[in-house]
A and B are shown apart, each in its own frame.
Chain A
Amino acid sequence: MASLTTDVLVIGGGATGTGVAWDAALRGFEVVLVDRADLSEGTSGRFHGLLHSGGRYVVKDPRAAEECIAENGIVRRVAADCIEDTGGLFVTTPFDDPEYADRFVAGCRATGVDCEEIPVAQAIRQEPRLNPGISRAFRVPDGNIDAWKTIWSMARGVTERGGRVMPYHAAVAIHRDGDEVTGARLRDTRSGEEVDVEARMTVNAAGAWAGRVADLAGIEGVRILPGRGIMIAMNHRLVNTVVNRCQMPSDGDIIVPIRTVSVIGTTDQHTEDPDDQTVMQSEVDAMLDDGEKLVPGFRRARALRVWTGVRPLFEDAKASDTDTRDVTRAHALLDHAERDGISRFVTITGGKLTTFRLMAEETMNAVCAQLGEDRPCTTTTQPLPGSEGGQHYRLGERLERKEQHLREEQLICECELIPRSKLEATLRRTGTMNLDDIRRLLRLGMGPCQGGFCIYRATGVLHGLDGLTAEQADEALLHFLQERWKGVWPILYGDQLRQARLDDWIFQGVLDVEHLPS
């Protein structure tokens, strides 16, 4: 069996784990980052894209609000290219308790969240689709953050500094030597091959799955309450500013404009299984009704896709078992040397994407303390690869770049403007045969046609690269089709059903993929 030796082994390739690996690499540690699937395939890649100002938590969870506003400022600097500075609004709709607004203002003041009340007319001018019945409006520094881009930037930074990033490697055992954790055994989920990693420190950053990783280490009582929520991407920027309802955080009270879509979220269902991706019809209906309250006519807009994310909420004695929204959004760092008498192992869970950097910093501080090393954190000032210029992402950037090469470059995905050269380079660099990995990297198949045109093209390109058999290409095609379907079938109505039917004609009627040789 192959084996590796490293300073720090990080289990979990979401924003937190990748952030820990990035922080560790910057402090000069050797690092190995592993995930059972692709990077960002868990909760980090399955949220609405909000870069929190903290406004949502100022009344309910002031500590989370304080963390958010502090991190918002830092992340804007170091991950500039991954962020669009849309700004945010909190608006009191006719459905909200008018008293809450004053508590909101007081909460912002107490927690340091920048907040400015603006005239309703000004808010409507800024966002003409907003419910004209709103009575108050507040401006906050919300934005959006592209989690995939953030995570892949940090992963690139880790590899550039000699670290190893190993997606599709599941931890199947945590090695213990008495009261010390010495590393883990990984299994390549694609080839089945196993590898032992010997590490000075092992970090459990498995998010909603952290309880399972802790179990592997023989540590009891790390209970994560998975709170499952759905999000629906609408096919347009119905708003260009993040819009929140000014009320206690609840279901369906936020619309985040990101890239070419706007995302409404979310619901909150307690689940025992972090892999639960159920979307209930009642949840979809509730989201659409909630959308109407913020943006009248929301139901007439086209829903593009729906997905579920699972919040990794660390259990707190104060929380009821059913409403996970009452658990603190702040994160939990468990130093198992202190907590369980087991050294060289820490767990970081809970929190939210906005605070990934802080979570990583605190985790690496704990790691350094256990190792007895004094290496300062530099993630507050070191920009992520690609963000050195300090410029935020602007909507239309991709089109602008594409237009410069309109005649020379063939587009494989017209919706997301992905040139053939870029697809080929990414396939070669990653060596993946999974088009869903490419979706996360390049946004392949994410646009209005939902892969109707690009899936066949991308499969052809994939097959044209060295060494891929027709069987592998067919598997990639069928897998991607099924993955796309997963995100659309619960929201098939109106134009999206029309699109799905056109895609049925292409894949089943013209290409007849159902009868590919097996």
Chain B
Amino acid sequence: MRSELHYDAVVIGAGVAGLVAGTRLAEGGARVCVLAKGVGSTHLAPGTVDVLGYAPERVDEPGRAVGELIAARPDHPYALIGIETIGEALAWLAERVAQGPLHGYRYVGGLERNHLLPTAVGVVRPSTLVPETMAGGDLRAGGPVCIVGSPVLRDFHPSLCAANLVRAGVDARSVELTFEVDRADQNALGLARRFDDPSWRAAFASQLAPRLQGEERVGLPAVLGSTDPHGAWSDLEERLGRRVFEIPTLPPSVPGMRLFEVLRSALRANGGRLVLGSEVVAAERADGRVVSVSGHASGRDVRYVAPSFVLATGGFASGAIELGSDWVTREQVLGLPLRGEPPAGEPRFVGEYLTEQPMARVGVAVDAQLRAEGAENVVVAGAALPGAVPWRELSGEGIAVASGHRAATVILSRAAAGAAA
């Protein structure tokens, strides 16, 4: 037996773009369902919202640099979204985080200026809207920094981080602490759960405090609490009597999971539905529109019917766009046409790793309203959009938040126009 569900809008994909679009649609009064194979890139990404970090030189003022990028690259997603929407979307997101379930956790920053935050390998990395728990690491502030870690966490190496910061001109050193753990392979999430516990934090702070010097700020891997990061972080700052900041490291990303929780909660609070573990396996199309999609979960198919769809399925990393062994690139979910591939006969990849690969800008072909070519009721958001190299530009979440925001606006205003007519 097949069941059928009707919504005002169905969003495919539960990364930042999909959750932002879904939440905004729900806030706008639409009955919305976010349907996804699994969680999106939040669990892998640093949890910051990077609007533009390199163009290709390091960007200090992202608002201004995005303006220049829009002028220079009309094919870039930001050129379709527009600078005003980016600003609105960042403000919208910051508000959702502040009002969210993580008691007091908030994001700081804006388009005027990027923060300069250390990465786990000690690179000074530009970042736009960031958790308050990371903002204290802004290296524009100057002054000594102590990077703290433990051999217990194999995914964070404080001495390497500090040594590279020194190379970059930062007054940095490192300290390693040891704790008893029940098993040797700890990841960031396991440690974050420990930091939720006040007695663990007290023990941690008392071990660390005597090893700190002068005016040092303290950099820790991004593990300061999963359910109450604001509480964990401010508690540590108080106990140590100095600024403490988190540094994102290898997945799983604790700050990314917090962002996911914030958006999931906002979606649900507005009546939106989230269905994870349901892969879209078929789509029904008629007259240049998508009529319904079928999600496969728990051994059965459910048909989701809606007048509008948001495709927020990501790019190659999620598998939503695939290059086959026949060297044909396909959009896997709805079979939509793509844009941005190198011309036939030209190389798709080149032998040097740290350079722009010819395949980097592939995405779903869209019009100025982000509507997919060949499916006018499908609006595309996030990494599925063509024209950007987000991991090199450091623009991934910026594009996701802004295009998700814009996708919802496109659908809501069309619905309003339809209702008026």
A470 touching B157, Cβ below 8 Å: no
- Scan A488-515; emit 1 where CB is below 8 A from any B CB, else 0: 0110111101100110111011111111
User: Using a CB-CB cutoff of 8 Å, which residues 281-332 of chain B contact chain A?
Assistant: 315-319, 322-327
Distance, CA A493 to CA B348, complexed state (A): 10
Interface size class of B (residues with CB under 8 A): 35 or more
Please name the residue on chain B nearest to A489 by beta carbon: B349
Contact of B155 among A457, A481, A482, A492 (CB under 8 A): A457
Label chain B's interface by main secondary structure.
loop
Contact of A464 among B53, B159, B326, B390 (CB under 8 A): B159
B385 to chain A, nearest CB (A): 15
A511 touching B120, Cβ below 8 Å: yes
A474 touching B119, Cβ below 8 Å: no
Does A300 sit at the interface, judged by CB under 8 A?
yes
Does A460 sit at the interface, judged by CB under 8 A?
yes
Does A412 sit at the interface, judged by CB under 8 A?
yes
Distance, CA A495 to CA B322, complexed state (A): 8
- Scan B46-59; emit 1 where CB is below 8 A from any A CB, else 0: 10000001100010
Does A459 sit at the interface, judged by CB under 8 A?
yes
Distance, CA A494 to CA B323, complexed state (A): 6
Distance, CA A510 to CA B251, complexed state (A): 9
B124 touching A456, Cβ below 8 Å: no
Contact of B157 among A300, A459, A471, A485 (CB under 8 A): A459
Q: How many residues of A contact B (CB 8 A)?
A: 55
B46 touching A510, Cβ below 8 Å: yes
Across the interface, which residues of B come within 8 angstroms of A288, CB to CB?
325
Does B154 sit at the interface, judged by CB under 8 A?
yes
B248 touching A459, Cβ below 8 Å: no
Distance, CA A410 to CA B122, complexed state (A): 23
Which of A408, A456, A470, A471 lies at the interface centre, i.e. has the most chain B CB atoms within 10 A of its CB? A470
Does A477 sit at the interface, judged by CB under 8 A?
yes
Does B336 sit at the interface, judged by CB under 8 A?
no
B160 to chain A, nearest CB (A): 4
A33 to chain B, nearest CB (A): 32
Please name the residue on chain B nearest to A509 by beta carbon: B391
B83 to chain A, nearest CB (A): 23
Across the interface, which residues of B come within 8 angstroms of A481, CB to CB?
353-354
Distance, CA A492 to CA B53, complexed state (A): 27
A412 touching B353, Cβ below 8 Å: no
Does A223 sit at the interface, judged by CB under 8 A?
no
Contact of A497 among B151, B251, B316, B326 (CB under 8 A): B316
A513 touching B325, Cβ below 8 Å: no
Given A457-B155, A457-B157, A510-B119, the answer on whether A300 and B317 have CB atoms closer than 8 Å is no
Which of A411, A481, A512 lies at the interface centre, i.e. has the most chain B CB atoms within 10 A of its CB? A512
Distance, CA A486 to CA B354, complexed state (A): 12
Distance, CA A506 to CA B43, complexed state (A): 12
Across the interface, which residues of B come within 8 angstroms of A504, CB to CB?
317, 391
Distance, CA A474 to CA B165, complexed state (A): 12
Distance, CA A220 to CA B119, complexed state (A): 56
Contact of A412 among B154, B159, B248 (CB under 8 A): B154
A506 touching B123, Cβ below 8 Å: no
Contact of A509 among B46, B58, B352 (CB under 8 A): B46
Please name the residue on chain A nearest to B360 by beta carbon: A504
- Scan A459-490; emit 1 where CB is below 8 A from any B CB, else 0: 11101100001110110011001101110011
A382 to chain B, nearest CB (A): 39
Does B399 sit at the interface, judged by CB under 8 A?
no
Distance, CA A301 to CA B286, complexed state (A): 34
A474 touching B159, Cβ below 8 Å: no
Across the interface, which residues of B come within 8 angstroms of A510, CB to CB?
44-46, 119-120, 248-250, 253
Does A369 sit at the interface, judged by CB under 8 A?
no
Across the interface, which residues of A come within 8 angstroms of B133, CB to CB?
none
Across the interface, which residues of A come within 8 angstroms of B125, CB to CB?
512, 515
Please name the residue on chain A nearest to B383 by beta carbon: A501
Across the interface, which residues of B come within 8 angstroms of A486, CB to CB?
351
Given A469-B163, A470-B160, the answer on whether A511 and B123 have CB atoms closer than 8 Å is yes
B404 to chain A, nearest CB (A): 18
B316 touching A513, Cβ below 8 Å: no
Distance, CA A498 to CA B317, complexed state (A): 4
Given A463-B163, A493-B325, the answer on whether A508 and B154 have CB atoms closer than 8 Å is no
Seed contacts A453-B155, A470-B167, A494-B322; 15 additional CB < 8 Å A-B pairs = A288-B325, A456-B121, A463-B163, A470-B164, A474-B164, A482-B352, A492-B323, A495-B319, A506-B44, A508-B392, A510-B46, A510-B119, A512-B119, A512-B125, A517-B168
Residues in A lying within 8 Å of B, measured CB to CB: 288, 299-300, 303, 406-412, 420, 453, 456-457, 459-461, 463-464, 469-471, 473-474, 477-478, 481-482, 484-486, 489-490, 492-495, 497-498, 501-502, 504-506, 508-517
Pairs A-B, 6 closest by C-beta atoms: A460-B157, A470-B163, A485-B353, A517-B167, A501-B317, A509-B391
* Sample (21) of A-B pairs whose CB atoms are under 8 Å apart: A408-B184, A410-B154, A410-B184, A456-B250, A457-B155, A459-B160, A474-B121, A474-B164, A478-B354, A485-B353, A489-B353, A494-B322, A502-B317, A504-B317, A505-B45, A506-B250, A509-B391, A510-B45, A510-B253, A512-B123, A517-B123
